[in-house]
Amino acid sequence: MARRNSALQAVENNILDARAKAVLAAVIKEHLVTGDAVGSLVLADRFSNSPGWSSATIRNVMGELEEAGLVEQPHTSAGRVPTDKGYRYYVDNILKEATLSRADLRAIDKVFTSSGFDSATSSDRIMEKMSHVLSELSENVGIVVSPSLAENRLSHIEFVQLSDRRILVVLVTTSNTIHNKIIRLEDKLTQDELERTARYLNTEFSGKSLVAIRAEILELMNVEKALYDRLLRNAILLCDMSLEGEESTSGDVYVDGASNILAKPDFVDVDRMRELFRTFEEKSRLIKILNECVSREQYSMAGDVHVVIGREHPISSMRNCALITAPYRLGSNEHLGTLGVVGPMRIEYSRIMAMVNYMARLIERRLDEEARV
């Protein structure tokens, strides 16, 4: 009991001695490659060139790790496999920050250099391609969440008269997303008035986020000048109607490679697989999961990467999965969207974390360039 309490206390304090860390890392690395339970003989062979590493010593250390809840023994094997708690300790305390291989860097950079992307390429196409690259390179599920409409920045707005009181609003963001909306007016406006109003709004608000524009418009409603200035009054009316209700419009979710996990031995429970696929199909649920991941401090790693493992997930369908994500921003702190990889807990944490972080920074550079145009 004393040894068990000591092992648990060491984990709770994030303190394992060097030998325990080495054994846990070796178990995880071996299990990542083979998917099998790892026995002391396998580890003894791995540590054969290091003095003091007998099979008995390794068995004792593995016993301590098991008592601490970091590894467990499957019923069908004498070896040990990592638990989600073990993976968490490994990611937080043992794993070193990695850099991408040249092959991975070439494959990712190729998306931007040979896919025909230019300043006119829509963000939808970029996000879709990014999710595919994440899926292809990780051999898991790639997910990208595009910025919500409210978080996008205005490039320009146009008003097209459809009838006396029906107006088509064409709103173009700096990420080349086009949003159309039909509004109905109580009073008739001429096409000339609509064009002058659009010019005014483009001059005053181009480059600002839509949520910030709506806030400014609501403030202008209380300015007495707006009662007498027809152009300003029209601008307030049209802009308010164009943006009304858009603050709650979430971004699109691009999921690629869901079929990749079908071939993995980690996913053999058909009912759980069915539930996981339903999660991938539910946009609002998936966005909530990703937002939860990037907002909780305990999942934050170096380089703005976030990792959620196993039972840390709030929903049951993800509790045998690892989720590795990174937010992308405009400027220093304006969170626009998220990208990430979903796979089994037996995933290449170091490589995938580096990949997700690098691709998030690529998207940031692209959005920053668009905002400067």
- Convert the pLDDT of each residue in 158-179 to its tens digit: 999 998 888 898 988 876 778 8
CA distance 25 to 87: 9
> How much is the pTM?
0.77
Percentage of residues of the chain with pLDDT beyond 90: 28
Of all residues in the chain, the percent with pLDDT exceeding 70 is: 83
- What is the distance between the alpha carbons of residues 231 and 347, in angstroms, rounded to a whole number? 58
For all residues of the chain together, what is the average pLDDT? 82
Whether 118 shows a pLDDT value over 80: the answer reads no
Calculate mean pLDDT across residues 218-241.
71
Report the pLDDT value the prediction gives residue 121, as an integer from 0 to 100: 59
Q: Is the sign of the CA dihedral 171, 176, 178, 179 positive or negative?
A: negative
Tokens 């968490």 identify what position? 88
Residues 6+ apart with CB under 8 A from 166: 182, 183, 184, 185
Return the higher-pLDDT residue of 351 and 56.
351
The CATH number that applies at residue 122 is 3.30.450.40
pLDDT (0 to 100) of residue 4: 47
Residues 109 and 175 in one domain: no
Quick one: 134 and 259 in the same domain? Answer: yes
pLDDT above 90: residue 113: no
Sequence letter at residue 239: C
Assign residue 11 the CATH number of its domain: 1.10.10.10
Angle ∠(36,41,42) on CA atoms, nearest 5? 45
CA gap 324, 142 in Å, rounded: 10
183-187, 256-260, 262-266, 361-365: range with lowest mean pLDDT: 262-266
Question: Locate tokens 């494959």: which residue?
Answer: 107
CB within 8 A of 37, min separation 6: which ones? 31, 73, 74, 77, 78, 79, 80, 81
Are 125 and 264 found together in one domain? yes
- Residue 220 sits in the same domain as residue 171: yes
Same domain (yes/no): 7, 82: yes
Separation in Å, CA 20 to CA 53, 65, 69, 255, 293: 12, 7, 13, 38, 29
pLDDT of residue 177: 74
Decide which of 217, 248, 279 is a domain's last residue. 248
**Same-domain status, 213 and 339:** no
Confidence of residue 218 (pLDDT cuts 50, 70, 90): confident
Same domain, 113 and 47: no
Residue 35 has pLDDT above 80, yes or no: yes
Cα 329 from Cα 44, distance rounded (Å):
46
Instruction: Enter the tokens of residue 50.
Output: 């290091």
Confidence of residue 45 (pLDDT cuts 50, 70, 90): confident
| 319 and 308 co-located in one domain | yes
pLDDT band at 29 (very low <50, low <70, confident <90, very high): very high
Q: Output the domain CATH number for residue 214.
A: 3.30.390
Are the C-beta atoms of residues 230 and 194 closer than 8 Å to each other? no
The sign of the CA dihedral 49, 55, 58, 60 is negative
Give the pLDDT confidence score for residue 249 in this predicted structure.
58
Is residue 86 located within the same domain as residue 154?
no
At 13 the pLDDT is 53
- pLDDT of amino acid 216: 84
Q: Has residue 248 got a pLDDT over 60?
A: no
With a CB cutoff of 8 Å and minimum separation 6, the contacts of 33 are: none
Give CA–CA dist 368/373, Å, rounded. Answer: 9
DSSP string, 23-48: HHHHHHHHHHHH-S-B-HHHHHHHTT
End position of a domain, from candidates 198, 232, 248: 248
At residue 77, does pLDDT exceed 80?
Answer: no
From 248, 273, 291, the end of a domain falls on: 248
Q: 3-class DSSP state for residue 336?
A: strand
- Between CA 151 and CA 168 the distance in angstroms is 22
Angle between helices 283-295 and 270-281 (to 10 degrees): 90
* 241/309: higher pLDDT: 309
Q: What confidence score (pLDDT) does residue 302 get?
A: 59
29-37: Cβ within 8 A, 24+ apart: 31/81, 31/82, 31/346, 32/346, 32/347, 32/348, 35/265, 35/266, 35/346, 36/77, 36/79, 37/73, 37/74, 37/77, 37/78, 37/79, 37/80, 37/81
Q: What b/e string do you get for 93-117 counting C-beta neighbours within 10 Å, with b at 16 or more?
A: eebeeeebeeebeeebeebbeeeee
* pLDDT recorded at residue 348: 94
Range of the domain at 174: 150-248
Query: 213 and 239 in contact (C-beta within 8 Å)?
Result: yes
- Average pLDDT of span 61-90: 91
Task: Say whether 167 sits in a helix, a strand or coil.
Answer: strand
Regarding whether 319 and 284 lie in a shared domain, the answer is: yes
Q: Is the pLDDT of residue 107 over 70?
A: yes
pLDDT tier for residue 272 given thresholds of 50, 70 and 90? confident
| DSSP structure class, residue 346 | S
The helix (H) or strand (E) run that includes residue 58 is helix 55-67
Same domain flag for 274 and 332: yes
The count of structural domains within the chain is 3
Q: Is the pLDDT of residue 228 over 60?
A: no
Residues 238 and 365 in one domain: no
